[in-house]
Each structure stands twice: as structure tokens, then as C-alpha cells.
Amino acid sequence: MKNIRIGMVCPYGWDTPGGVQTHIRDLAEHLIEEGHFVSVLTPISDDSVKHEDYVVNAGKPISIPVNGSVARVLFGPIASSRAKQWIASGDFDLLHLHEPAIPSLSLLACSAAEGPLVGTFHVSTPKKKAIYAIGPILEPIVEKLNARIAVSELARSTLKDHFDTDAVVIPNGIDGQKYANAKVNNEYSNGHTVGFIGRIEEPRKGLQVLIDSLSIVARFFPDVQFLVAGPGDSSEFTKKLNPQLKSRIKFLGLLSNEEKESFLKSVQIYVAPNTGSESFGIILTEALSAGTAVVASDIPAFKAVLENGGSGELFKNEDSADLAKVLVALLRDDDKRKRLGENGRLSAQKYDWQVVAEQIENVYEMAIAGGQRVTLASENRFWSRR
């Protein structure tokens, strides 16, 4: 594909950890390396921090509950005005809008623009009455898209159920070599280590499920270390812990990208105990790329990534005893753990950006085939106002 000007919209706060933000950042940087121009419009909580040159600050996000989590998004007339200004000045060949069907910056940009528009849908959620109530508002906006991408079959099903429209499935991408070649950190690899990364105060990330398994695992492996990384207050977890187990769990806080890569490469087992509302599981693909044995709850999204147990072990969702059983068996069996790690590493190759970005660029080519460029919709053009 020839080099083009791409406007990308991130709906969530850029400086808040999340799979969507990571996907957009990595995709933007991969496309820039290939010679494309990319500008990312996004909410930013702390505008005093310097961000990537390609990032455009649309304003401070607010927190709203979404799909069992809290999303930091930006909406309203000021955000709409900034989106229009960005579109008008961008001279874009194409807009790539992430999550354009939730109240966010992406929805505002999609509503304001005409021309080649691509939408990526990340969320997986069952039908809800609220969706039906605002469906008539959202459907015309979703229908404006020239092409639709879903990051998984679950996200595709959500789109079909809510809007009776379809999408091509292209998974989230990762730079697999970063994880495969990461430096092993002895702090994380010494002894029997089990790792977790996630927003620790968010119940659906399942940290409590993992912690509840510790008493059983520690009976068989008294030296076991549960290493927990991610933002949030750990005090609620530690004060409920048996005092004899407190030394078996360590909270590391938020890791840098390089520290995260090293963490995933170093731990003996990575656990994803998420309880639901996941459409993909990018952290799984990162751990798989590192060659680390992965254990995950048997929610549909994780079963898909782990190929129904072919590239990682599954346990019964929200069942700490079953998780403990799986962990003990893996910690006992070095050969199986290594074999699982190798199977996972090979499986993760299909998520590498070299593969995923090519699929996305094929969608871009289809969207721009008509030769149009991105403009403001006629009712939004500044010169049409009276």
C-alpha cells in the first residue's frame, strides 16, 4: 500500500493502562515505521506529561462505568469541536476509529466526518436494554463506516447482535520479539513464581480468585511467590490475607513497558484469572510470546486465544480450588511447563504485528479504493454555519 495519511482516534485516556490503548500505540508506531503519517486523537488525563509526537490531546477524560469496568472517556460539545478541528486540519486519507459505538471521542469523530472511515470494535457484551434504547442514534453512525474490524469472534458477535452488521476479524497485535528477547530478571525468576498483571482493584480482572488459591498452592510449595503487577491499592487484599501467607505475595505496582516484558519472560507461570467481559486477552498473547506457561480462566475469549487448552492451561472460571490444582500440577512438572511455553510461543506468532498490520492495511486499501479523502460532513463544516 502506498504511504497515506491516517487519522486514528483512541476513545480511552491515553495515559491509563489498557489493551485498547496499547493496541493503538503499537499499530500507530508500526505504520509510522512503514512510512505512513499517523496522528492519534485521544483524551489525556495529565497534559503536563510529554507524550509521543503523533499524539494530539483532545482534553481530559471522565470516568464512566462500562461493561463491568471503569472507562476514562471524553464526550460532549467541547470534545466534538476539537474532533472537528482535528479532522478539518488533518488532510487525512482515512480515519481509523476505535470503539465508535460507545459515547466517546471516536463516536464524535465518526459522526463529524465523511470519506474513508474504518472502525475497530474491541468490546464483547451481551444484549442490553440500554443498547436498544440508543440503537436508533448509533446505527446510522455505525453504518457510515466503509469497513469494520472486530478483534475477536466475540466482538464480532456483539456487533452483529446490537447493530445487525458484520465485521472482519483481525486480532490485536503485539511485537512478539520484544517479549521473546526480553531480559530475564532474577527477582521474578528465582524459585516457584506465579505472575499476574492487571488493574488490581477491578473485580473482573480476578485477582481475588488468584489470591484465594495461594493457601492451597503454598501447602505444596512453601517457597511459592505470587508476583502482582498493576495499578491500584493493594491494602484491601493484604489485610484479608493470612499473616503466614503475606510473605508469599508481592505487589510490584505499575511496570514500565520494558519491566513488563521482563516480568512476563521471567515468571514460571503467568495467570489470567479474569472473570468475564473480555473480548480478547492481549496480555495472554504477550505472555505466550515470551515463551511462558500460561494459565487462564475458561471464559470464551481466553479459551479462543489458548486454543481450548492447546497453548495454555485452563481452569474453571472463579474457582480458586481448581486454579490451585492446575498451578500445583504445572509447578511439579518442569517438562510440561516448558512444552506448554513452547506451544504458546509458536501459537502467538499469528498475533505479531508483521501479520496483523498487513491484514489491517488490506482493510485500509479497500476503504480508500474510491479515491475520496476525509472531510467534515457537510452539516459540520465551519463555513456552512449561519
Domain ranges of the chain: 5-173+352-384, 176-350
Please calculate the CA angle 352-277-312 and round it to the nearest 5 degrees: 45
- Alpha carbon distance 150, 157 (integer Å): 9
Contact 39, 96 (CB under 8 A): no
Average pLDDT over residues 350-359: 95
pLDDT greater than 70 at residue 202 = yes
Q: For residue 342, what pLDDT is reported?
A: 96
- Grid coordinates given for 40: 492519534
Question: Percent helix, strand and coil across the chain, each rounded to 5?
Answer: 45, 20, 35
- Give 88: exposed, middle or buried? Use CB within 10 Å, 0-12, 13-18, 19+: middle
Strand partners, 6: 38, 94
Q: For residue 18, what pLDDT is reported?
A: 83
Q: Given the C-alpha cell 453512525, which residue does it identify?
A: 141
pLDDT greater than 90 at residue 94 = yes
- What are the angstrom distances between the C-alpha of 336 and each of 133, 186, 214, 245, 268? 50, 22, 21, 27, 12
Of 3.40.50.10190, 1.10.10.10, 3.40.50.2000, 3.40.190.10, which CATH number belongs to 5-173+352-384?
A: 3.40.50.2000
Q: Show Cβ contacts of residue 178 under 8 Å, excluding neighbours closer than 6 positions.
A: 261, 289
State pTM to two decimals.
0.85
Q: For residue 279, what pLDDT is reported?
A: 83
Question: Could you tell me how many residues make up the chain?
Answer: 386
Contact 183, 265 (CB under 8 A): yes
- Alpha carbon distance 4, 95 (integer Å): 11
What is the residue-averaged pLDDT of the chain? 90
Q: For residue 337, what pLDDT is reported?
A: 96
Average pLDDT over residues 272-297: 94
Q: Is 353 helix (H, G, I), strand (E, B) or coil?
A: helix
pLDDT greater than 50 at residue 239 = yes
Domains 5-173+352-384 and 176-350 share a fold: yes
Sign of the dihedral defined by the CA atoms of residues 321, 326, 330, 332, in that order:
positive
Sign of the dihedral defined by the CA atoms of residues 36, 261, 284, 250, in that order:
negative
Lowest mean pLDDT among 17-26, 88-97, 157-166: 157-166
Overall fold of domain 176-350? Rossmann fold (3.40.50)
- Alpha carbon distance 266, 293 (integer Å): 11
pLDDT greater than 70 at residue 36 = yes
Sign of the dihedral defined by the CA atoms of residues 45, 258, 33, 31, in that order:
negative
Number of Cβ atoms within 10 Å of the Cβ of 54: 16
Average pLDDT over residues 362-366: 96
Lowest mean pLDDT among 61-75, 90-104, 115-129, 196-210: 61-75
- What are the angstrom distances between the C-alpha of 181 and each of 38, 86, 174? 28, 38, 13
Number of Cβ atoms within 10 Å of the Cβ of 201: 15
- What are the angstrom distances between the C-alpha of 242 and each of 40, 193, 248, 326? 47, 19, 10, 22
Lowest mean pLDDT among 125-129, 183-187, 371-375: 125-129
Contact 30, 39 (CB under 8 A): no
Identify the CA nearest to 145 among candidates 360, 379, 353, 367: 367
Which stretches of 9-72 are DSSP H helices?
19-33
Q: For residue 68, what pLDDT is reported?
A: 57
- Alpha carbon distance 70, 79 (integer Å): 19
Lowest mean pLDDT among 117-131, 212-226, 357-371: 117-131
386 pLDDT tier (thresholds 50, 70, 90): very low
pLDDT greater than 90 at residue 261 = yes
The 3-state secondary structure of 100-154 reads CCCCCHHHHHHHHEECCEEEEECCCCCCCHHHHHHHHHHHHHHHCCCEEEECCHH
129 pLDDT tier (thresholds 50, 70, 90): very low
pLDDT greater than 70 at residue 107 = yes
70 pLDDT tier (thresholds 50, 70, 90): low
